[in-house]
Structure formats: structure tokens, C-alpha cells
Structure 1
Amino acid sequence: MTNSIAEFEHDSKAIFVIGSNTTACHPLIASRIIQAKENGAKLIVADPRNIQLARLADLSVNHRLGSDVALLNGMMHVIIRNQWHHPDYIADRCEDFDAFKAVIDTYTPKRVSDITGVDPEDIIRMAELYSQNAPAALLYAMGITQHTTGVDNVKSCCNLAMLCGNVGVKGGGINPLRGQNNVQGACDMGGLPNVFTGYQPVSDPGVNKKFSDAWGVALSSTPGLTITDMIEAIDQKKIKAMYIIGENPKLSDPDWNHLNHALKKLEFLLVQDIFLSETAQSADVIFASAALGERDGTFTNTERRCMRARKAQDPVGNTLPDWQIISRLSTAMGYAMDYDSAEEIFDEITGLTEKSYGGMTYERLGINGLQWPCPGPDHPGTPYLHKEPFARGKGKFHAIEYKDPAELACAEYPFLLTTGRMFAHFHTGTMTRVSRHLDVEQKTGYVEIHPDDAMRIKVKSNDPVLLTSRRGQMEVPARITTDVMPGNLFLPIHFGENPTNILTSSNAFDPLAKIPEFKVGAVRIERLIQ
């Protein structure tokens, strides 16, 4: 996030939520949005489903699955046409506006309505609410990123925020809501295939030498593989062993049949987790990891805030904190890791990640933590980014054309399926489904279907139905609701008995980020005779 969570409540005059079921997936942030609305902020919601937050919105729209670029381009067309943009900000702080504008000029409300299904008057009203109530914060989640055009979607969000001068101001910004408590921290620490900590490129000779010298080894300058690429590499027998830490790809990765076929080709699978997940059940060796309250360390959350986690009790049984397991394994394999504590590791992090973490220490983190960048010991941390010039100098406008999703409805597969979370469970349910209190809220998977579609195929609530895609098929109970639009279906991702990823595609992914298109896929639905 470029900005801080507290700003939504106190400083934002408008909040635009797109591709995020915030009350179900990020309830604490949703509470800030609700409070902001009570404080007078305008709320705009764009989502293919009728999410809870839409009921509080000044304006909510249901755009067609995968049509985010067109909707955002349509808003920007209206903003420029009505001169609601910020030409001085654009001239001073941005570049490539003319090429961007030439594309945006073609996205009239009528054209965008034909693509998105959103009424032209609503597109105009969305543009007005966002541009005329500054500062305006834009919030998005995986409804924006999990598409074959995920990078284009994010760039379009950035275009809109820059167009209205909402980047580098308190209460504004572009704010991706991270899906787990340390997604931001994992990326910051080099949990990406092409960078070391702090997004320092492995291919940069100076950076590579810095880390090679620090660790006393010659490090490769070749970027590694994304998860999507790893599965293909296993299938081609280019990867023979895999070490999975705190991940459950048997439910979270697309195309269950293809994934299982690939995993069976591994000569060795090692899984490190706190519970026996579906993936761990297939492992050759399992390392039992200590849980959150049983270890010290740090997390960096969605607003770039690095915070300490303090051990409340000793680990149970023979479990160990992750850093100790990794250190012992590394030492056994020939590279000695002899850290004495998590704090010692954090000190190494700050020493090698000077620009963002350099000023942090355990003592300085205290209770509330610090937001990066925090480059020096006297730096207070950074509540919002880009107050000064952008890191690249000027903000770049991108001319983005709309592209269809990889799959559209057709005669054989007449419905479009989207996937996501529901309020009671988290991700693949590894933790929440072992909680009796949460499991009782929802014990099985289900598919949401609009009443008109249910009537047409003669399905009633809780009737078993068969869902079929080009990858496979699964049985699941039906839930009839107007939360989905006619022609659309929704599946939650949490249930191993009804694994959503049997239906999703591993061949449809963003060409740059390699994120699979979990949010759109063509399926058919059939009633099963009881």
C-alpha cells in the first residue's frame, strides 16, 4: 500500500474499492472504510458480485468478470472529457500522458457499457465521485490481480490515481490489500524469483556482489522460477525435488489434475507446516513448524508496517521456529547457518536492506512497529509514499487496451465461474477448518448461482450439482443468491472436499506476473438427481 490504513478513516474524502470483498477478506480494514463513510467520505464499489460493502456505497456497480481495464478506462475518459483531472500534477510529476490519453479517448461510456454491462450514467457518476472528492483512496485485492490481465489492471488503477493527483498525498494512494499477514514482508525479504531483500535485483552485478560477499558464496545472477513455471518444470523433469514452507498448493494452485500429475513426478517432496495440509499428506518428509505464538520474529503487513511477533509459550512437542529448521537443514547440507536468535537475523536484514529497513531495530519496533522506508536510526518511518518525486523520477502513464479473459462463455460451457474467499474461513482452510467455532459457520463448499439460472436448470438450494470445466469436474451443493449476476457462478476456495482448483486453469495466467486467472473460467452446471 502506498498509504496507511488509518488514513482511510480520517483523511480520505472518497474511497474506491474494486476487486475486493473487503468485509469478508479484510474485515479490520473494512471497519475503517465503514467509519470513513460515517465520517462523510464517499464510497464507490465495483465488483462482479453484490458484496456486503456495496450496500453502504454511494454508488456500486457490477461489472462483467474480467472487464476491469475497460471500466477504469471509461472512468478516466469521463474525467479527462470533463476536465476533472489534475494537469499541473501530471505535467510536474508524470510522463507519457499524451500516448495514454490517445487510448483513453476511445473508451466512451457507451463503448465501456457494452463491454462491462455497467450503465453509462453510472460510469459518469463513478468518475465524478472519485475525481471530485480529494483525496481519494483506491483499494483493490485479488479481484484485480488474478487475471491474465492482472498487470494491466494494476497499471490502470495507477493511471486513475495519478490522473487525479491522488498519489503522494495523505488519504489517497493505490492500496493493494494483501491476502495474508506477511505477504508484503515475504516480498520485501526476497520471496520473489528475481530479487534479493528490498527488491534488489539478483541480476545487478553490484547487488549480487554485496549479497555474495555478505554470505560468503558466489550467488547466481539468473532469476529463478515463479510457482507457475515450477510446476511446468517438474512436469518436464527439470525439477526433481521441492521444499514447500507454509503453502498448500494442492488447494491453492490451479488445475488440480495437472498439478497432482506433476507432483507425482517429484523424486522428493519436503513440506514444512504447522498442520497436516492436503499437500503435507503427499510429502516424503514433514518438518513440524512452531505456530505464531511459539516464536519470535517480525512481520510486515499490508501498509508496510514491520512489527515484532513475541513468543508467548515454548513450541509444542518437537516443533521448531521456521528459521531454526531452515538453519539446521542448511547446515546439514554444507552451508553453516549459526544464528543465535531471530533478532540476529533481523539485524542482518536491516544491514543488507538499507533503503527500506536500515533504520529499524527490535527496540525501535516497540509495540506499533515502523513503516518502511525507514533508512536511518532517526527516521520515523513513512506513513505514505511518493510525497517527494517517484522512485523512478516521474510517474509513468501506461496506454492499456482492454483484452478479453482467456475463457468466455460458450455453448459447451455457458457459465463464467469466479473464485474467492468467504467470511468464516481463510485461504485453503489449513488453520480455520481446525477451529470448531469457525468450521461450524460453514462446513462444506458450495456454489453460488443466481435464482434465474437456478430456475432454468431446475436447481433448488442445497441440491447437489455437477460443475465441469475444460480441466475437470466436481460435485458441490448449490446456494441460490442474488449475490451473483445471471450467468455467473461463485466458488469459495477453502474446502478440500470440493477443491475449486479442479476447475481452474494453469494455462491462463498473466504473462508478466505469472498469476493464474482464478477470477474467470468457463464452466457448465448440471443438476444431479438425488
Structure 2
Amino acid sequence: MSTMIPATDRKKAGTMSLMINGKKIKALKGMTVLEAALGASVYIPTLCYDPDLKPYGACRLCLVEIEGMRGIVSSCTTPAVDGMVIRTDTPMVNLARRAALELILVNHHGDCLTCTKNQRCELQKVAQYLGIEQENLDKLRKGTQILPVDKSHPAFDRDHNKCLLCGRCVQACEEIAAVGAIDLAFRGYATKVSTFGDKPIHDSICVSCGECISRCPTGALVPKHYIQPTDHVKTICPYCGVGCSIYLGIRGNEIVDVQGAKESPVNKGGLCVKGRYGLDFVNHQDRLTRPLIRKEGVPKNVSTTDIHQIFREADWNEVLDRMAQDIGLTIDRHGPDAIGLLSSAKCTNEDNYLFQKFARAVLHTNNVDHCARLCHASTVAAALAAFGDGAMSNSISDIDQAEVLFVIGSNTTECHPIIGRRIKRAIKNNGAKLIVADPRRIELCDMAEIHLDHFPGTDVALLNGMMRQIVEENLHDQTFIAKRCEEFEPFLESLNGYDLKTVDAITGVAGEKIRQSGLLFGKAKKAIVLYGMGITQHTTGTDNVKAIANLLMLTGNLGRKGTGFSPLRGQNNVQGACDMGALPVVYPGYQRVDHPGVREKFEKAWGKNLNEKPGITITEMVQAAYEGQLKALYVMGENPMLSEPDLNHVREALARLELLIVQDIFLTETAQMADVILPATSFAEKDGTFTNTERRVQRVRKAIDPPGEARPDWEIIAEISKRLGYPMDYQSSAEIMDEIARLTPIYGGINHDRLGRGGLQWPCWDKKHTGTPILHKGQFTRGRGKFHVVLDRPPAELPTFAYPILLTTGRILEHWHTGSMSHRSHVLETLAPESRVEINPVDASRLGIVEGDVISLSSCRGAIQTKVKKTHRVRPGQAFMAFHWKEAPANRLTNPAFDLQAKIPEFKVSSVKAILTVLERAVEDNKFLTALAENPAGVLASYDLTPEHRKALVDGDIASLEKWVGPLEERLQMWLKVRLKQENISEK
């Protein structure tokens, strides 16, 4: 009998003929009997089968008779064979099915009429099909213990009493999510699906992706608040750059359900916690619904959450007329370059295109930028220089083909969860080898062959060290280099300074581990480098990316399946915003503003003379505002008051602007400083396109009406433009995309009608072109790939005596960017309600800090208060904190020093100090505690301690100490005891 063939390979294997219930059918070779039957619309009852999971055969309901085989067999686990004769409805089959189902039902508790899954329950359907009667079940049913319902999770409940033990949830967690948070546990009648240690699901390693919920056939796993949708609309998730396709379940103009689109080549139906449970922000009561104008006399630095104390409502005509007047006056008085525009990676391609067109054709400035400046500007700069294209070279699906995956500077399972699970499945199912380079011990380290835990900011030295080992072992692809690359000899010579001993000293990684990593990567026939902002957000960010490009060219891992250069873009449309020219030096399609021929093309198309001078970046705009050179800033869908480094400086800079316009869906921290606020539509209320991290352009579709008077971003821009004398008479976002295609060669064949099931990957040159899954086949976009000499440089800021800890910032699974969306999601906010800084237990012990303490974390730029999480994920002397919380804005601490090539700030390395908050308050007027906090050992040398004092210190006698130092809070008493014990005072 033939073995089953993976679904992806079946079309290549051909077809076969079967006979089912006397009817001849065709089926793909490699199918099971059940798959063949379902493909021919022959119903076979089952409760454990799921097309996305491996056949399990648990429920014993899909039994069939097969001619020539003894007895009855489970159709889900039996491979179909050419010529097979199958019967699905014989008396023996039906008798066996009924017996199996009755045994399932007698242990199934619950009233169908009150069950959330009523009328959607697969068990109901099968019971009705087989004609099971209730009275027969009552005779069989024995008294069993009713188990408590696990209600610990904010999104769903687990009712073991309704569980069939079908195993779907267990398989989904293991095979789809690649987590393994649950399994079948205990024996006999006590068997149940359980977490490790039988803890509540909220206290397990569950990542809240909901894959188990979407596959449960009964009411055992159900959403807490389920409402049946009346309509479903396909669109794209608005969170990270993976670009998952989703179906929004709509009822009464609200999103009540979200499901992954199984036909999507990106996520194949899978979703993370944000995609499945984080979209209720759309219907949040905080949505902006009417235009707002700042009240006369209200200062920019006012601190209040009451919107009506700061702003007054206005109608659209008043606001738009005022904006046009104020913008016109600014240009008349100070010139067009006194205005800056901050576009948005959250908005559609069409929105971004029109925004940059407005800047250039209407305002006559190239001062337009967006948040790519803060995440992947260094990718664009380096990849354009090395390859000629500033984007991911391969498709996400190429992960499945790779022999070696090198993840560097990316906490993939938290920041790009669907790609993270794909990496884990490639390791488990395909035997791929994983190298992880990250100062923190991220989740992927548990599956890695090698973890390179280098010091923050030493990526160039690490990569150069690996490449030297590849060259020394003669593992470099000399044919690829000779035929397709240039500037190899200077690069090769530059590696001489990176022997293992030197690299070990720079990076803190043992030389042998670096050698092993180089050999593992160098020997692979197909390898991919995946990286994130741990690479790009440095003063050496562009050099870091150039080093990755060097590594891929050195080993010939470009232009083929299973290979590639994979920057993982952070926001849903940050790739698209770059493509659309929301950058100060390029028009759409990376066509430079200072190229005369390019500029002439756009001048002809737009009917305006254009400014040939490249614009300034958002980091430069902030400084220009501070210095009084930038007078006005128009912000669409961005929040620099939390996303920029050195926020105290940013606040003062924005306060100095004469005009700040903010266009958004919520009153963000930036909007609170605005003069004018324009209410915009969310992703669910507009049509358009997003471009994901693999260059895939996908359709965004309107599912509900916007709240109040909120308008699509492109319509707002067009209205302002008209008032400034430049009509933009578009009737739809599709019409805007048609203009994009005419002017942007890489989008030349893209229109809304062509973006069907899976979208198109650029470049797509014309209407007949099917897109480009893999770049750089045969030759690079720039002709030859260019090696660059990159030498290591230290970060702009290193630890000092005053600030001895290196802080790195990033994201966590449950939240996203500045939190304006995710903090307004009930499930996401419940799962992660407050900020925490990760510090190593060694540092915590040294500082007298325990888990959950509130500490003051400060740099030379500012201070914040946050709770502590002790963990070995960070090294001693290092700390990590997410930047999602306005209550503890991590970017108040970060360093604004930037990469001179890409102008990206160094978010990943800042020097800070930590002190217990109650201690910080106490030491303000207590010299002894001040000394003890800063230099415990020095206290004994600088104070003339009497025997009484020394005994009190040794014994931790708080009552005696309070006579000396004054009253101490309870937490401070605990801290003091720990510090005195650590210092071994009796021996001093």
C-alpha cells in the first residue's frame, strides 16, 4: 500500500481512480481514503480529523469497509490506492460508528440549548446524522465527577466536561502553533487535556493564539463572549509586517469574530494573539469621531486625559479651511522646507502615496518620512547599496526549504509570531538547523544548535568573525562571487583583523562557538538570514546590514529557493510606505528625488515643478523643530511622543512648533500636543492595499462604517489639497493604485482587481506579470552584488560608573508599537497590563531588588518607574524593556545618537542605572542611605561606627537603626536587611 504524500507535493504525483459507494471518482495520489471521499463530496462523519493536522484516528467514527481488507478501518489514517473499492455506509460500519459515538456521548456533559457552541457543534451534527437517541445514553451514563471550568484566560473558557479527547487542540498547539502548552494527561476515566502541572491555562506557556479554540468540535473550548457574525469580510491584519489574511466577522457594524484565511500563502489560516483577539480596538469608545481644534490659551504641555479640557469640536469645513490657511501662511513666511510631514506604516499604500504627493506637489517639500526611519532605514540603505533593492529577497515560504536558518537581532516568536512558528516547524519537521545571535536568551534559543549571546552593538565583529572562518575553511562560493559580485578582494582583506581571539574579546562569545557557527552556515547548500531591529537600531545599523549582505553573497545564498536576505519588517505596511516614497530622498518605487530624469517624469505626471533638494528625516525634523527651523509638522498615523528616542527632548521640540496637525484614530500622546486633530478611519473601515515583509501587495477591504465623522486618510489629504489650490479628484483608492502603477515600475502590473487570493509580490512589471517571489535570480537588481568593507565600531554609549547597566528596548508578544491600538484591546491589555524591565538575578541581588518591585530606571536623559522581572534571559549588567507603555515610556531613556548613513537612532544600547523607588525617595534627605545605595562597602570606611551601630547593622536590628537613620518604610526595611547581609558587615 502506498504511503501518504504531503499535500504540497500531491499535484506533482498525479491522480488515481477509486470506487466509493459504487461511484467512480478521481483523487490525487497520496490522499487518505477520507480526503478522497470528502473531495468527491461523500460525507464521512469524524470528530478528530482536521485537514491541517496529521491523521490521528482518535474518534473511530470515520470507519469504512474496503474490499480486500479485513474488518473495518479508519478512513483518516488509511492511504487511498488506485483501484480501491470503498463502502462508507454498510450496516457494520454504521453499527460500529454508533457504538463509538455513544461511548463518546455518555462522558459528554452539558445542555445543548445553553451551550455557546449550540448549532455550531460538530458533535451535534454527527449525533443527528447517526440518529443517536437520548434515552439510550441515559442508560449507559454512569455518575462521573464534574470538573471545574477553567476561566483563567481573558479570551476563552476550558470546560473539560464537554471535551471528547479528540486531540485536535493538542495537535494544533504542537503542530500548528509549535508551542506544546497542552497534552493528554492522567489515565482511564481521569484522562483530560492538561497543561504542565495541571495549572490554569493562563499560568501555562500558552501564547493565546487561539488555534485550539478554532479547532475544538464542541463547547469544551469557547470564546468568553461569542456573538454570531452576520457577515464576513476578508482583509489584512493591521499589526506586524507578516501580513496575515483574516476574515472579520461582522454584526451590527462591529467586529465580533476574527478567523485566519486558510487560503492565504502567508499565514495559511494561522493567527497570533494580536490577530485573533486584538482587533476590538476598532470599536473602542476612545475612537476620535469629530475634528478637534485646540482651545485658545491651552498650553502644549498640559497634562490631562480629558479631551474636552484641551480641545473643542469643530466641523470638517472649519478645520480644513483653518489648516489650509495656516499651512499657506507658514510657507509664505518661512518657505516650504519649514514644514515636515510624518507619514504612516499603519496606513494603506494609497494613503501613503497621496501623502507624499501632497508634500511634493502641493507643499513643494521633500520633508516627508515615516517610522521606517526608526526601524529599517538601515536595511533600505544597505540593501540598495549591496543588491539594488531595499527589501526581503525571498518569500516567507522559503523558510520551509532552508537547511540552515540564522536568526540575528530578532525575537521572532514574539515580534513576528507566524514566522516564528514557521521557523520552529522547519526545525521539527524538516530538520533545519538554527543559529541564533542575540544578547538575550529568546525562545528560539531553546531549539538552536548554537546561541551566540554577543554584547549589544558588536554585530559587525561577530559576522566578520564567522565569515573569516568560512573563508579559512574554503566554504565560500567562489563561482557565485566571480560571476555575480564585485569588490570582493578589499572585503576579503578586511577580514584579516577578525581572528577568533579578537572577536571573542570584542563580542564576549567564545571563539569556538563563532567557528562552529561559521562552519554550519558555510556548509549549508541553502541558508537564510532573518533579522530584525536588533540589527538595524544601532549607530552601526547600516554596516550591520551590509555585513549580513556580505555573508549571503560570500556563501551564494541569494536568488534561489530556500535562501535569502530576510529583514522582518515591524509594522503592517512599513514596506509599502517605503515603496510609496514616504521617505525624504525618493519618490515611489525608490526613484531618487535628485535624479533629473526621474523628477521630470513626476513633474509631468503631477503637473507641478518639484523640489530637487532631498528632505530631512523625522529625527532631523525633531531637532529642527527644537532649533526653530521647522515651524509646522503634519503627522498621519504616527506617535513620535512615544516612538522617538529621548522623549523629553521630543516633547520640548514639538511644543515649539507653530502648527502641529495630527491625523489619527485615537488621541495619542502626540495628538495631545496638537493644534488640530483629524479623525481618521481604521483598517477595517477603508479599502486599499498593504505590502507585507515579503513584498506581497494585498487587498484591504472595508468591513464596517467609521464612527461619527471619521474619514479615510486619502480623502482628508485630497480635501486639504483642494483648499490649497491643487485638486485631487480621486473617486476611490483603486483609482489611486492605478496612478501608482503608472509611475512606479515595480508596481506596474498591480491593480485592485488582480489582488485575489494571495496578492502579488513586486516587482510586477505589467498586467501579465505574475509577481516575483524571489529576487536576484541570475543577476542582482544593480547588476553585480557589491561587497562592502565594514569594520566594527563601539556603540555611541557604553556603561559608566554612574550608569552601569546596558538597556536594550523592543517589543513583547501581547503589545505593538506605542500601544495606541493594543492597549485598547481587552484581551491584550488583560494579558499584559503593565510594563516590566527584565534584569538578571545577579544584578537584582546586588541592588536588593526582588520580583515585582517598582524601581526607578534612569539615563542621563530622563527617568521612569517600572516593575522588575528577574530573569536569566539577560546577562548580568544588561536589561531589557518594551516601549509600549506611556506610563513607563522606555524611550525617555534611549539615546538619540544615530547612524550617519540611514539616520536611524540607537534604540538598542543605552546606559542606565536602577534603584528601588522607595529607596530613591528616602535617600533624597538621608546621607547614610544615599551612601549605602551608591556604595555599600564605602559606608563603613566613611562612617565612624560605634559598637552599638555595628551590632545593629550585623543583626539587621531595624528598630535600633531607625533611631539612627529615621523611620523606614517596610519595603525599605527589607531592602536594608538584604544589603547589610550582602556586605558581610561583621567582617568589615
After TM superposition, the score normalised by the length of structure 1 is 0.98
2:863 equivalent among 467, 470, 473: 473
Matched, 1:522 2:522: no
Inter-partner Cα distance in structure 1 for 2:772 and 2:747:
11
Inter-partner Cα distance in structure 1 for 2:777 and 2:801:
52
Output aligned runs, 1:275-314, within 5 Å.
275-314=666-705
**Match of 1:105, SS?**
helix
Inter-partner Cα distance in structure 2 for 1:287 and 1:57:
48
Partner of 1:504: 894
2:589 equivalent among 181, 193, 198: 198
Whether the 8 Å contact between 1:308 and 1:367 is mirrored in structure 2 is: no
Inter-partner Cα distance in structure 2 for 1:475 and 1:373:
47
Higher RCO (C-alpha under 8 Å, 6+ residues apart) = 1
**Structure 1, 69-78 or 316-325: larger mean CA deviation:** 316-325
Output aligned runs, 1:62-461, within 5 Å.
62-354=453-745, 356-461=746-851
Deviation at 1:528, TM superposition (A): 2.4
Inter-partner Cα distance in structure 1 for 2:470 and 2:763:
33
Inter-partner Cα distance in structure 2 for 1:367 and 1:345:
21
Q: For 2:866, give the aligned amino acid.
A: V
Inter-partner Cα distance in structure 1 for 2:592 and 2:778:
23
Inter-partner Cα distance in structure 1 for 2:403 and 2:661:
49
**Match of 2:905, SS?**
coil
Inter-partner Cα distance in structure 2 for 1:208 and 1:197:
11
Output aligned runs, 1:478-489, within 5 Å.
478-489=868-879
Deviation at 1:367, TM superposition (A): 2.4
Deviations 1:87-125 (A, max 9, x none): 111111111111111111220111111111111111011
Whether the 8 Å contact between 1:3 and 1:385 is mirrored in structure 2 is: yes
**Match of 1:259, SS?**
helix
Inter-partner Cα distance in structure 2 for 1:475 and 1:432:
21
Inter-partner Cα distance in structure 2 for 1:14 and 1:46:
13
Inter-partner Cα distance in structure 2 for 1:276 and 1:126:
48
Calculate the aligned-residue CA RMSD, in Å.
Answer: 0.9
**Greater Cα radius of gyration, structure 1 or 2:** 2
Q: For 1:463, give the aligned amino acid.
A: D
**Structure 1, 278-287 or 181-190: larger mean CA deviation:** 278-287
Inter-partner Cα distance in structure 2 for 1:136 and 1:423:
26
Q: Which runs of 5+ in 2 are unaligned?
A: 1-391, 919-970, 972-988
Inter-partner Cα distance in structure 2 for 1:41 and 1:75:
19
Partner of 2:884: 494
**Match of 2:586, SS?**
coil
Deviation at 1:256, TM superposition (A): 0.9
Partner of 2:934: none
**Match of 2:677, SS?**
strand
Deviation at 1:468, TM superposition (A): 1.5
Whether the 8 Å contact between 2:810 and 2:882 is mirrored in structure 1 is: yes
Deviation at 1:276, TM superposition (A): 1.3
Inter-partner Cα distance in structure 1 for 2:654 and 2:684:
32
Inter-partner Cα distance in structure 1 for 2:538 and 2:715:
37
Inter-partner Cα distance in structure 2 for 1:351 and 1:290:
27
Matched, 1:40 2:431: yes
Q: For 2:699, give the aligned amino acid.
A: R
Deviation at 1:282, TM superposition (A): 1.4
Inter-partner Cα distance in structure 2 for 1:294 and 1:270:
22
Inter-partner Cα distance in structure 2 for 1:224 and 1:308:
31
Matched, 1:24 2:414: yes
Deviations 1:419-469 (A, max 9, x none): 000111001101000011000111111111000110011100111111121
Q: For 1:524, give the aligned amino acid.
A: K
Whether the 8 Å contact between 2:410 and 2:438 is mirrored in structure 1 is: yes
Deviation at 1:247, TM superposition (A): 0.5
Partner of 2:238: none
Inter-partner Cα distance in structure 2 for 1:323 and 1:184:
18
**Structure 1, 329-338 or 448-457: larger mean CA deviation:** 329-338
Q: For 2:737, give the aligned amino acid.
A: F
Moved over 3 A (4+): none
Whether the 8 Å contact between 2:823 and 2:829 is mirrored in structure 1 is: yes
Inter-partner Cα distance in structure 1 for 2:817 and 2:426:
28
Whether the 8 Å contact between 1:144 and 1:154 is mirrored in structure 2 is: yes
Inter-partner Cα distance in structure 2 for 1:259 and 1:399:
35
Inter-partner Cα distance in structure 2 for 1:221 and 1:473:
42
Deviations 1:286-323 (A, max 9, x none): 11111111100011110000011111122221011111
Inter-partner Cα distance in structure 1 for 2:655 and 2:595:
36
Inter-partner Cα distance in structure 2 for 1:186 and 1:97:
33
Partner of 2:350: none
Whether the 8 Å contact between 2:859 and 2:911 is mirrored in structure 1 is: yes
**Match of 2:641, SS?**
helix
Inter-partner Cα distance in structure 2 for 1:44 and 1:161:
15
Whether the 8 Å contact between 1:150 and 1:515 is mirrored in structure 2 is: yes
**Match of 1:430, SS?**
coil
Q: For 1:511, give the aligned amino acid.
A: L
Inter-partner Cα distance in structure 1 for 2:757 and 2:715:
24
Inter-partner Cα distance in structure 2 for 1:388 and 1:335:
44
**Match of 2:898, SS?**
coil
Deviations 1:312-370 (A, max 9, x none): 1222210111111111111112211110000000000000012x111112111112100
Q: For 1:160, give the aligned amino acid.
A: L
Whether the 8 Å contact between 2:895 and 2:909 is mirrored in structure 1 is: no
Inter-partner Cα distance in structure 1 for 2:726 and 2:532:
39
Inter-partner Cα distance in structure 1 for 2:556 and 2:490:
18
**Structure 1, 112-121 or 342-351: larger mean CA deviation:** 112-121
Deviation at 1:526, TM superposition (A): 1.2
State percent identity of aligned pairs. Answer: 52
Deviation at 1:487, TM superposition (A): 0.4
Partner of 2:127: none
**Match of 1:73, SS?**
helix
Partner of 1:513: 902
**Match of 2:906, SS?**
coil
Deviation at 1:416, TM superposition (A): 0.5
Whether the 8 Å contact between 1:42 and 1:133 is mirrored in structure 2 is: no
Inter-partner Cα distance in structure 2 for 1:468 and 1:36:
41
Deviation at 1:388, TM superposition (A): 2.2
Deviation at 1:170, TM superposition (A): 1.3
Inter-partner Cα distance in structure 1 for 2:556 and 2:470:
12
